Amino acid sequence: MAERRFNKAWIVGGSTGIGRELSLELARNGVDVVISARGESALAEVVSAGAAAPGTIQSVAVDVTDPAATRAAYRDATAMLGQIDLCVTCAATYTPFGARDFSVETFQRIVDVNLMGTVHVLDAAMPDMIARQSGHIAVVSSVAGYRGLPAASAYGATKAALINMCESLKFDLDRVNVKLQLVDPGFVETPLTANNDFKMPFLMKADAAARAFYRGLMSDRFEITFPKRFAWQMKFLRCLPYAAYFPLIRRSTKALS
């Protein structure tokens, strides 16, 4: 494994799911962490869970749909830790719905958290890293962003946007020595996937996903994916023509329901 190039981390979406387990994994490996999310009680639980780790965990509550509050949270995290080496943005929400129950309000909420919430985090952290020409950013998207999937029109659209955004930003960030990684998980056992009413292939425990995430952060890969087998299956589907893709997904999702 490569030498770790970060010691101070700000994890947005660090109170539950992958963000929670990654924060604990980082602290166990000696990284000092500030976690942010909306729920102060959930943040306090993670701080308590990591109390015995070599690295420290502190918290700053934030609603990432508020750009000014997100910039303030970054300033608070910097005041707590000093220079932030690693910024991970994984705050997300998910409500499955299809054409019959299509909702502007639900779609907007998912966009506000998943896409614009990530934009607000980057707006807070990226200028500082660009100015000092160092730093590490990891944006959590999903393999659901590879192609359209049933009941995921809003969630998948936000994740596809994050993939495209990171591919675009990488060109500029490479020039100023800021490392950008895109994280595309498959199914991980979290409060979000608890909304699914179908069998989820290769479902990972959140702590196992966090260990894979940490190993990816230590690598020079642009994209971090886990579980690997499912990610490669989704990459294959991305290459299929529509005439093959739609019938295959109809059959497979019917079999999984």
pLDDT at residue 3 greater than cutoff 80: no
d(CA 75, CA 124): 8
CA distance 166 to 229: 23
Q: How far apart are CA 93 and CA 250, in angstroms?
A: 25
Determine the pLDDT at residue 188. 76
Q: Looking at per-residue confidence, does 228 or 58 come out higher?
A: 58
* Gyration radius from the chain CA atoms: 18
Sign, CA dihedral 157-209-224-244, equals: negative
pLDDT at residue 170 in the model: 98
pLDDT for 195 equals 61
Q: Alpha carbon 95 to chain centroid distance?
A: 17
Q: At the top level of CATH, which class does the domain 8-256 belong to?
A: alpha beta
Instruction: Tell me what pLDDT residue 189 has.
Output: 77
Average pLDDT of span 45-52: 96
Q: Please tell me the predicted confidence (pLDDT) of residue 196.
A: 62
pLDDT tens track for 67-123: 999 999 999 999 999 999 999 999 999 999 999 999 999 999 999 999 999 999 999
pLDDT at 255 over 60: no
Domain ranges of the chain: 8-256
> What 3-state class would DSSP assign to 56?
coil
Strands (E), 90-169: 136-140
- 127 versus 193: which is more confidently predicted? 127
Per cent of the chain over pLDDT 90 is: 81
pLDDT-based confidence at residue 254 (cuts at 50, 70, 90) = low
Q: Would you please indicate which residues are annotated as catalytic (active-site) residues? A: 155
**What pLDDT score was predicted for residue 257?**
45
- pLDDT for 220-234, tens place per residue? 999 999 988 888 998
Judge whether residue 150 has pLDDT over 60.
Answer: yes
How many Cβ atoms from other residues are within 10 Å of residue 116's Cβ? 18
Q: Which has the higher per-residue pLDDT, 171 or 196?
A: 171
- pLDDT for residue 251 is more than 90: no
Task: Give 170: exposed, middle or buried? Use CB within 10 Å, 0-12, 13-18, 19+.
Answer: middle
- What are the beta bridge partners of residue 10? 34, 87
Report the pLDDT averaged over residues 50-74: 97
The string of pLDDT tens digits covering residues 180-205 is: 999 999 877 766 665 666 566 667 88
